[in-house]
Amino acid sequence: MRLRALLVVLTVLAMVVAACDSGDDGSDTTPSEETPTTAAEAETTITGDEGETTTTDGESTEAPGAITIGAVVPLTGGFAGGGAQIERGYIYAVDAINEAGGVYVEEFDAEIPLALDVRDDASDPNQTTSIMDELAGQDIVAYLGGFATPVHAAGSATAERNGIPYLGVATSTQALHEQGYQYFFSPFPKSPDMAVTIFEMLDGLIPEGERPLRVGIFQEATDWGEELGPLFVQEAESHGYEVVYNETYAPGTTDFTDLILGAQATDVEALLSLPTPPDGFAIYQQMGELGWKPPFNLVIRAADVPTWNDLGEAGEGVVLSTPWHPALGLPGTEAVNERHIEEEGRPADPVVGSAYALIEILADAIERAGTLDHDAVRDAIAGTDGLETIIGPITFREDGTAAVPNPHMQRIGGAIELIWPAEPATADLVYPAP
């Protein structure tokens, strides 16, 4: 009996041991010894085919579906004509980069497409600020600005407060770069350069003895006007010209009769101005009605917009100053010009190229930064050195400006012709203006 009881106990123990050695599902398993994971190994990243960055401790960071850029542009209001050019430049550049695969970001080990979030500020600096503040909470990598100094003054200050990089063209006010801003970058000719090149062009294109030595200035009562007006006077005198008429007007003035008649009475031969598009239209329309136009006319900003041709003969022959023209033949120009002709029925407008370059600069900076962090991208933009763009090589100075070409164009027969520098010019200066 004792032997039988012992056999029963041994049998039961054998069954228990067998059960413990099997899994819950009845399948055989082979136990393995776990190796502890070090902290360094836990931080190692592994990137899959779908652009998802993972760590060995199970954490993951997915690449965003797109790199969003907030563009605040005047598509309505007084600056809309310039804003339309700015928007086209941004769109063309984003499309070109995305077609090439997007922007490589080392943080995610992935090429990511760009996405534009374009907002209309209606040419109102107050709306510029409010829209930018709204965009700041929507995970954008950077801001792109609009057209004309008033909106850029608001935009640059807002970007600085929000700590987000801001790139803008179509503003020439040097004073914006003397505020100590760290997040504002503008590869566009500034007032000191513009004042010099206009007289270099006159001296280079018009023989001595035929030059328009009697200069008149219609100075806008704005920060930019107050900055550029005295520089015009300074450079005129240093080049042997005489300023015989220099009057100020408020933006939004509707009757320029007194200004025009005063310039006519002092026998102005070269009229220099920097009006907004609405003011420029009013000035030259009223000059046409009064039957007077000086031999040489520089119209910065207002004459950039395509609707300038609506002035007809009154607007013919004016000279404009922007840093890009398709005839300069810089990298990327051909594709931009072909698309513009196909979509708009004319060669690319001058500010399109400048806007396009901002996307090139930003994409390059993101790739060099290797992240979408605002400060890292800002530092990469500031470190841009010799980047080849559609407007030429870009190297930023400490104040956020860059040395860029400052060619001059003239409206001849409804087209914008490059007249300076002389070598790639598409036409000779028509002087005196018709």
| Distance separating alpha carbons of residues 230 and 232, to the nearest angstrom | 5
Query: What band does 171 get if pLDDT is binned at 50, 70 and 90?
Result: very high
Question: What is the token pair recorded at 375?
Answer: 């400060």
- From the options 3.30.70.100, 3.40.50.2300, 3.90.1150.10, 3.40.50.460, give the CATH code of 67-189+328-403: 3.40.50.2300
Segment 94-142, tens digit of pLDDT: 999 999 999 999 999 999 999 999 999 999 999 999 999 999 999 999 9
| pLDDT bracket for residue 344 (50, 70, 90) | very high
Pick the more confident residue, 296 or 56: 296
Residues 6+ apart with CB under 8 A from 349: 85, 88, 304, 305, 306, 340, 416
- Tens digits of residue pLDDT in 138-158: 999 999 999 999 999 999 999
Predicted pLDDT at 60: 55
Q: Do domains 67-189+328-403 and 192-321+409-420 have the same CATH topology?
A: yes
pLDDT digits (tens, 9 = 90+) for 28-85: 333 333 333 222 332 223 333 444 554 444 455 799 999 999 999 999 999 999 999 9
User: Is the pLDDT reported for residue 332 higher than 80?
Assistant: yes
pLDDT, tens digit, 9 for 90 and up, residues 354-377 = 999 999 999 999 999 999 999 999
Cα gap 182→165, rounded to integer Å: 8
CA–CA gap between residue 294 and residue 315 (Å, rounded): 12
Model confidence band, residue 312 (pLDDT cutoffs 50, 70, 90): very high
What pLDDT, on the 0 to 100 scale, is given for residue 9?
A: 36
Confidence (pLDDT) at 178:
98
CA dihedral 35, 40, 43, 46 (to 10 degrees): -70
The whole-number pLDDT of residue 355 equals 98
Do 364 and 376 form a contact (C-beta atoms < 8 A)? no
Determine the pLDDT at residue 52: 52
- Lowest mean pLDDT, pick from 27-41, 224-238, 300-314, 340-354: 27-41
Mean pLDDT of 248-266: 98
Share of the chain above pLDDT 70, in %: 86
- Residue 182 burial (CB count, 10 A): 16
Residue 406 token pair: 């400052």
Residue 59 neighbours by CB under 8 Å, 6+ apart? none
- Closest Cα partner for 366 from 63, 47, 50? 63
Radius of gyration of the chain (CA): 32
CATH number of 192-321+409-420: 3.40.50.2300
Quick: pLDDT tens for 385-397: 999 999 999 999 9
Residues 6+ apart with CB under 8 A from 52: 60, 61, 62, 63
HEC per residue, the chain:
CHHHHHHHHHHHHHHHHHHHCCCCCCCCCCCCCCCCCCHHHHHCEEECCCCEEEECCCCEEECCCCEEEEEEECCCCCCHHHHHHHHHHHHHHHHHHHHCCCEEECCCCEEECEEEEEEECCCCHHHHHHHHHHHHCCCCCEEECCCCHHHHHHHHHHHHHHCCCEECCCCCCHHHHHCCCCCEEECCCCHHHHHHHHHHHHHHHCCCCCCCCEEEEEEECCHHHHHHHHHHHHHHHHCCCEEEEEEEECCCCCCCHHHHHHHHHCCCCEEEECCCHHHHHHHHHHHHHHCCCCCEEEECCHHHCHHHHHHHHHHCCCEEECCCCHHHCCCCHHHHHHHHHHHHCCCCCHHHHHHHHHHHHHHHHHHHHCCCCHHHHHHHHHCCEEEEECCEEEEECCCCEECCCCCEEEEECCEEEEEECCCCCCCCCCCCCC
pTM: 0.86
Give the list of residues 6+ apart from residue 164 with CB closer than 8 angstroms, or none. 136, 140, 142, 143, 183, 374
**Which residues are CB-contacts of 148 (< 8 A; sequence separation ≥ 6)?**
74, 79, 82, 123, 170, 171, 276, 301
pLDDT of residue 17: 35
- Cα(184)–Cα(174) distance, integer angstroms: 12
Instruction: Give me 160's structure tokens.
Output: 């600085």
Arithmetic mean of pLDDT over the chain = 89
Q: What residues does 45 pair with on adjacent strands? A: 55
* pLDDT given at position 59: 52
Contact 103, 97 (CB under 8 A): yes
* Residue matched to tokens 């070409």: 405
Q: Where are the domains of the chain?
A: 67-189+328-403, 192-321+409-420
Task: Compute the distance between CA of residue 204 and CA of residue 187 in angstroms, rounded to an integer.
Answer: 25
If you count them, how many residues does the chain have? Answer: 434
Tell me the pLDDT band of 92, cut-offs 50, 70 and 90. Answer: very high
